[in-house]
Structure 1
Amino acid sequence: MSTATGHALALHGVGKRYGGFTAVEGVDLAVGRGEFLTLLGPSGSGKTTLLMIIAGFVDPSAGHVLLDGNDITALPPEKRQFGMVFQGYALFPHMTVAENVAFPLRVRRMARADQAEKVRAALDLVQLSAFADRRPAQLSGGQQQRVALARALVFDPLLLLLDEPLSALDKKLRAELQEELKALHRRIGRTFVNVTHDQEEALSLSDRIAILNKGQVVQQGTPFELYEAPRTRFVADFLGTSNFLRGQAGPGGIVKVGDLALRVACPITAGRDVLLSLRPQKILLLSPDGAADNTVSGEVVSWSYAGAAFSLIVATEDLGPLRVVMPAWNASVAPSEGLVVRLGWSAEAAVVVEDDQLQPA
């Protein structure tokens, strides 16, 4: 298969309404050439509807879809030349692997000799050449996913759209195929648009992530930017896990939470109420004489072991319960319920977020 420079995609004011229900509203999004963008959000956030609008299977109620600056909003899906990998793979059970991969070429009435060459190259790309004569039922879930990828790529699509392509796989296989999919993207240089509700998958695969909630893109950026600098409580809570601390900003980078004065490095305006997001992985268990910008004492009320890390809930008098995640290997203490600990974190560890989940009184 030939490698190709990806194509740029842009959405301007895209929305979709079904009667009185708004599935997608006012989405502005730009996908760069050769970029791997993931649409991430909970169920019902509008991410799949947005992908179907890009694919041409759903007509938007408002806005425009552009490819390389050309408006393709009214273009039917078969004219868009986009490859699509569905959640359930959608392979034809009565066809062999090679026949499944060749299907888009047959529809396009490509010469048989050219078909064979294209299919061979596509199967080589996903390392399934030896399985060309097998049927889908004779393949593992991971192999079926590779066949679906080969079929989506065999006709040299302008974009590759992926609708939860790894969700049917077990965790270990999903992690392996994430690495393969990322390597595939780098090799062929196409533009990928992926949909998932899996935060770890989005972080590991994507060049950029657009997080959706209630039909709107609430924040977009690189995985590092979104994880380290979430703008809202929703983003901080959905992408990973956070402790939320409510207090009042004071002078000199101090936030007063109860009777405790916390040092923060992010910009704050004195006199305003603020909400801090503090990742559990950024909290350390300190030795009795250990120092940190912020310290608090507490008691372990519960803990769990996940192989690589311990997850603790520590009850503190000043800040309430805090979730702490610490590496299990060579841990300084063995967690146990009732254990009294000192916690510490740097001024850079916490960031101010907008409280977009305020509950009505």
Structure 2
Amino acid sequence: MSEPKGHALALLSLTKKYGDFVAVADVTLDVGRGEFLTLLGPSGSGKTTILMAVAGFVAPTAGAILLDGRDITPLPPEKRDFGMVFQGYALFPHMTVAENVAFPLRVRRLPRAERDARVRAALDLVQLEAFADRLPRQLSGGQQQRVALARALVFDPALLLLDEPLSALDKKLRAELQEELKALHRRVGRTFVNVTHDQEEALSLSDRIAILNHGRLVQAGAPGALYERPRTRFVADFLGKSNFLEGTVWGPAPGGFALDVGGARLAVRLPDGESPPAEGARSLLSLRPEKVALLSGEESAENIAEGRILAFAYHGTGFALRVETAHLGEIRAILPAWKAPIAPAEGLAVRLGWAADAAVPVQEDAA
């Protein structure tokens, strides 16, 4: 990756209210120089409001926005020098691709020669040099999105802001554009701030993800850290799928603790340095379905649950099983389809197993 050329962004206790409704509540967040940060959350979580506040289109009720330590909160959008890519591309239909990309440079009154050179470089960056004379309606959705990216980058912005840029594309094209966008970020080395509600997109693209709910920042971190060690039920449930097992701490166990769930004793192993909860306390575990294995014959595991398949779905790479167990209720498991040890069928008796460190303690969400 090239040296980061972007700018550091900081949100300090950012708050936005519309009357009595709190859209963003006291959000403090740092974005590193050259980082690809994604704001992720369901509809109404405040992610788009934060992006619009960073862009200058929404005035915060309280708090501050800093760029490289300088307070830019009072600045209007045109003084912030940020590139922006919208969900609907926002291309001018009567302008060619080259004219669309050149528009920010014309507004800035750059000389014609420099303008043409920058447009050529920007179109080369998104691999659309051959399409310079076409109109937007002559392009595919993916090509239009790449034109929008070129236009947002052509004037060398301090930040690139992306408002659900891939949501209008079909699934296959969206996956292809994700790879292109990630590669583009590596090539330009700028700071990207992205907004999406798509968990897979956030995991695939981001250096870091900030998860929001009801206007509040719930957890931020690297994609792998958030997925493997969610702090709350909401994060575990929103970022992927999860089984939740709630019970009473039976007592300490090697490397962790034993949890009684419906009369079944489960072993929970904690990371080094993490203390187990007190004996008798309630504890909630998140267990990812792909970490639950189907045991065959006399095969064993640190945790075992027996049950019958309630339902299953085939997803190409695997089978998603719903298994009703005697003590733990319904457990979801992912069974790889390639050379699967069984042919799933409703009512089939199965044994499930998982390692002691597969389940992660999480907190219940605040009311």
**TM-score interval for Structure 1 and Structure 2 normalised by the shorter chain:** over 0.9
Q: Give the secondary-structure state (helix, strand or coil) at the position aligned to 1:179.
A: helix
Aligned to 2:120: 120
Q: Do 2:4 and 2:33's aligned partners in 1 also have CA atoms closer than 8 Å?
A: no
Q: Which amino acid aligns with 1:238?
A: F
Q: Which amino acid aligns with 1:316?
A: T
Q: Which amino acid aligns with 1:126?
A: V
Q: Do 1:233 and 1:357's aligned partners in 2 also have CA atoms closer than 8 Å?
A: no
The 5 Å alignment of 1:302-321 reads 302-321=311-330
RMSD: 1.1
Deviation at 1:309, TM superposition (A): 1.2
- 2:231 paired with 1:254: no
Aligned to 1:164: 164
The 5 Å alignment of 1:1-361 reads 5-251=5-251, 252=253, 253-266=257-270, 267-269=275-277, 270-356=279-365
Q: Which amino acid aligns with 1:11?
A: L
Determine what percentage of the aligned residue pairs are the same residue.
69
TM-score calculated relative to the size of structure 2: 0.96
Give distance in 2, aligned partners of 1:309 and 1:357.
Answer: 35
Q: Do 2:4 and 2:189's aligned partners in 1 also have CA atoms closer than 8 Å?
A: yes
Q: Which amino acid aligns with 2:145?
A: Q
Q: Do 2:118 and 2:154's aligned partners in 1 also have CA atoms closer than 8 Å?
A: yes
Q: Do 2:231 and 2:363's aligned partners in 1 also have CA atoms closer than 8 Å?
A: yes
Deviation at 1:288, TM superposition (A): 2.2
Summarize the Cα distance change of 1:289–1:205 in structure 2 as closer, same or farther, 3 Å threshold.
Answer: same
TM-score calculated relative to the size of structure 1: 0.97
The answer for unaligned runs of 5 or more in structure 2 is none
Give distance in 1, aligned partners of 2:335 and 2:62.
Answer: 47
Q: Which amino acid aligns with 2:259?
A: V
Give distance in 1, aligned partners of 2:38 and 2:11.
Answer: 14
Give distance in 2, aligned partners of 1:14 and 1:357.
Answer: 20
Cα deviation 1:164-211 (Å, max 9, x = unaligned): 000000111100110110000011100000000000000000000000
Bigger Cα displacement from structure 2, 268-277 vs 226-235: 268-277
Q: Give the secondary-structure state (helix, strand or coil) at the position aligned to 1:103.
A: helix
Summarize the Cα distance change of 1:319–1:326 in structure 2 as closer, same or farther, 3 Å threshold.
Answer: same
Q: Which amino acid aligns with 1:272?
A: A
Bigger Cα displacement from structure 2, 244-253 vs 289-298: 244-253
Deviation at 1:357, TM superposition (A): 6.5
Cα deviation 1:83-115 (Å, max 9, x = unaligned): 000000000000000000000001111111111
Bigger Cα displacement from structure 2, 324-333 vs 210-219: 324-333
Bigger Cα displacement from structure 2, 296-305 vs 2-11: 2-11
Q: Give the secondary-structure state (helix, strand or coil) at the position aligned to 2:269.
A: coil
Q: Do 1:234 and 1:357's aligned partners in 2 also have CA atoms closer than 8 Å?
A: no
Give distance in 1, aligned partners of 2:72 and 2:249.
Answer: 49
Give distance in 2, aligned partners of 1:348 and 1:112.
Answer: 62
Summarize the Cα distance change of 1:247–1:168 in structure 2 as closer, same or farther, 3 Å threshold.
Answer: same
Q: Do 1:288 and 1:342's aligned partners in 2 also have CA atoms closer than 8 Å?
A: no
Q: Give the secondary-structure state (helix, strand or coil) at the position aligned to 1:264.
A: strand
How many residue pairs were aligned? 357
Q: Do 1:3 and 1:187's aligned partners in 2 also have CA atoms closer than 8 Å?
A: no
Give distance in 2, aligned partners of 1:107 and 1:355.
Answer: 51
Cα deviation 1:31-79 (Å, max 9, x = unaligned): 0000000000000000000000011110000000000000000011101
Q: Which amino acid aligns with 1:178?
A: Q
